[in-house]
Amino acid sequence: MAEAHTGMKCDIEVLTPTQRKLRVEVPADRVAKTFSRIYREFGRRAKVRGFRAGKVPQQVLRGLYGADIQAQALSEIVEASLGEAVKEQGLDPVSEPRLDAGDLSEAQPFTFSAVMEVKPEIELGNYRGIALDRPRVDVDDEQVERTLQAFRERHAQLEPVEERERVEDGDYVFIDFAGTVDGEAFPGGSAENYAVDIGAGRFLPEFERGLVGMKTGVPGTLVVELPADSSDSPESRPAGRKAEFTVTVRDIRRKDLPPLDDDFARDYGECESLEELRDKVRAQLQDEVERFQNTRLQDEIVEHLLDGHSVDTPPSMVERELSYLVRRAATEREQAGADAPAPTTEELREELTPAAERRVRASLLIDEIASAEGISVSDEEVEGRIDALARAGGGQAASVRERYRQDWARATLQSQMVTEKTLDFLLEQAAVTVVEPSEPSETT
């Protein structure tokens, strides 16, 4: 065994590309010092008839608390010496160690072994200058005007309609409805005082069209086919079947849109003129396009890295990622209210294992590149991100901050930020060619 500067002896055995076995021998004097300190701690706390506090002999303490003293000594010695050995050997564990300990005596050397999974060694190939195509996408006038119109809609005032009692296209109505399928009510199929913006397409189109011509206060019947993918609307279940709705229009309102002029730009757009607001909207839309493109290009970079590198995946990392994906899939299915029989956990695990392995490989590669390039995230940067998340959380700001006081949540956020920085770096280093949408470059 090689002897560390701490006096321990340690050697390492490579079991697999992602598994190591450490054998550690702790010297007798260190074992003795640990026991001596623990005896003193127990002696100060022990209340033994006939002895003052702190004056209880070791042999008495051993007879009263021997098992507890032995367990504490074993835990402390293994924890401290294993941590030193891992650091000394330059290991990066990704799993809890599997320990095999010998007998622990108070004045004898102590030997134990620990098997653990570690991050694999990765030989990085070329990751700079990756050839990518960025399609040219320019925001046109029509997109700007659509955005401005939606902006007007958000600031519209709802005025009562008093000159008529029947619903027209473009009205904003409040309705009561109750739906049945084959005479049976279904979840999400009824509501009171429900707002419908007719013509906006946010409700079932057939349902919206059926409201046109209905009279306030007079119940009517609408028969519509529920869409096959209907998880986003209140009339959503059961999907793909005809439902009969009894509907009463309570109130009709008309949207009064503010005029699109310089006053609108000043009141709602923080601009001095309508032209300045148009320029601002165009720039925001262009930024959105570029952010979307950057995300797509970074996905292409990851695919390129995965194709060009062989990476061994530690089973424990894959298992953690797989468990996360299975939980997420089950939660998404539950929230969507899918009617088809749910796949079993084993079926989900089989389906999602390739994705888990891919995500772990990508994570290991990105971490290796970050290390090679010295990319890191400071505590100040993490605090800045937490502040931003708290502001975005509005009324949940306190719970957001409380979450990130936990070490695991903070470490996860910091790791995510390092990944973001590394992908930004790789995109900056890529050889990006701007191409017309219809003509891919020769590099693809």
pLDDT, one tens digit per residue, over 67-79 is: 899 899 999 999 9
Q: Where are the domains of the chain?
A: 2-117, 121-156+275-301+375-444, 158-256, 311-373
Neighbours of 155 (CB within 10 A): 12
State the pLDDT at residue 406: 94
Tell me the average pLDDT across 148-156: 91
CATH architecture of 158-256: Roll (3.10)
pLDDT in tens, 75-109: 999 999 999 999 999 998 999 999 999 889 988 99
Sequence-ordered alpha helix ranges (H) in 202-261: 205-211
* Contacts for 197 with CB less than 8 Å, ≥ 6 apart: 172, 203, 255
Of 176-180, 230-234, 279-283, 355-359, which gets the smallest average pLDDT?
230-234
- Is pLDDT above 70 for 61? yes
CB 172, CB 253: distance < 8 Å: yes
Fill in the amino acid letter for 103. D
Q: What pLDDT is attached to residue 230?
A: 47
Phi, psi of 56 (to 5 degrees): -75, 125
pLDDT digit string, tens, across residues 384-415: 999 999 999 888 889 999 999 999 999 999 99
- For the chain, helix, strand, coil in percent to 5 are 50, 20, 30
Question: Alpha-carbon distance 365 to 249, whole Å?
Answer: 59
Q: Is the pLDDT of residue 338 over 70?
A: no
CA distance 47 to 63: 14
Instruction: Report whether pLDDT(237) > 60.
Output: no
What band does 66 get if pLDDT is binned at 50, 70 and 90?
confident
Tokens of 353: 């294992």
CA 267/CA 216 separation, integer angstroms = 35
Q: For all residues of the chain together, what is the average pLDDT?
A: 89
- Tell how far CA 410 is from the center of its chain: 13
Q: 363 pLDDT exceeds 80? A: yes
Highest mean pLDDT range out of 68-77, 230-239, 433-442?
68-77
Residue 232: both structure tokens together: 């986003």
Whether the pLDDT of residue 443 is over 70: the answer is no
pLDDT over 70 at 374, yes or no: yes
Q: Does the pLDDT at position 265 exceed 60?
A: yes
Q: Which two tokens stand for residue 158?
A: 């709802």
Please determine, for residue 442, whether its predicted confidence score (pLDDT) is greater than 80. no
Query: Which of 155-169, 177-191, 271-285, 392-406 reaches the highest mean pLDDT?
Result: 271-285
SS3 state of residue 220 = strand
The arrangement of secondary structure in 2-117, i.e. its CATH architecture, is 2-Layer Sandwich (3.30)
| Confidence class for position 236, pLDDT limits 50, 70, 90 | very low
Which of 422, 215, 425, 311 minimizes the C-alpha distance to 18?
A: 311
Which pTM was predicted?
A: 0.75
Q: Is the N-terminal amide bond of 315 cis, ω within 30° of 0?
A: no
pLDDT of residue 117: 96
Per-residue tokens: 165? 């009692």
Contact in structure between 284 and 248 (CB atoms under 8 Å): no
